[in-house]
Amino acid sequence: MRIDKYLWCVRYYKTRSMVTEACKKNHITVNGQVAKPSKEVFPTDKITFRKDQITRIITVLDIPESRLGAKLVDMYRKDETPAESFEHLELLKLSKQHYRKNGEGRPTKKDRRDLEDYGEENSENTSEE
């Protein structure tokens, strides 16, 4: 089965054209070699690709006939992505929300004044040194 069809069947990408784009940008490798969309995959092949800021590593266990339901995907692939990758993604999400949570709107006048006071304190400390 072609790599683009396989990754679409096991639900890593929403459409085959998305997989084709990733292949053209050299984001997908099979057994350490950059793969074209027409590359054939066989059981025991290792596929490495980067999606959603995670480098995923999967091993092909079997070739599906067509696109699968989400519950059946594990019969056709083994996910070997390290747990640290998912932890890193969680840290990235948290770092983006460090100051203001989603949905809290624009900064208030008090927030602006606090930022200005903070900037003035730093500029005074650097000028004294």
Is pLDDT above 60 for 129?
Answer: no
Give me the domain span that covers residue 50.
Answer: 3-83
Residue 115 lies in a domain: no
Q: What pLDDT shows up at residue 123?
A: 61
Which tens digits make up the pLDDT trace of 80-123? Answer: 888 888 888 888 777 666 666 666 777 778 878 887 887 776 66
Residue 28 lies in a domain: yes
Mean pLDDT to the nearest integer, 8-35: 89
Rounded Cα–Cα distance for residues 3 and 9 (Å):
10
Residue 19 lies in a domain: yes
Q: What pLDDT shows up at residue 82?
A: 85
110 to 19, 107, 115, 117: CA distances (angstroms): 47, 8, 9, 10
Angle at 60 between CA 55 and CA 63, to 5 degrees: 135
Q: What pLDDT shows up at residue 57?
A: 92
Could you give the number of structural domains in the chain? 1
Domain CATH code at residue 72: 3.10.290.10
Which tens digits make up the pLDDT trace of 23-46? Answer: 898 889 999 899 888 889 999 899
Residue 38 lies in a domain: yes
Q: What pLDDT shows up at residue 85?
A: 81
Residue 31 lies in a domain: yes
Rounded Cα–Cα distance for residues 14 and 7 (Å):
9
Residue 14 lies in a domain: yes
* Nearest to 67, CA basis, from 3, 126, 10: 10
Residue 92 lies in a domain: no
Q: What pLDDT shows up at residue 96?
A: 66
Q: What pLDDT shows up at residue 46?
A: 93
- The model's confidence at residue 68, banded by pLDDT at 50, 70 and 90, is confident
Residue 55 lies in a domain: yes
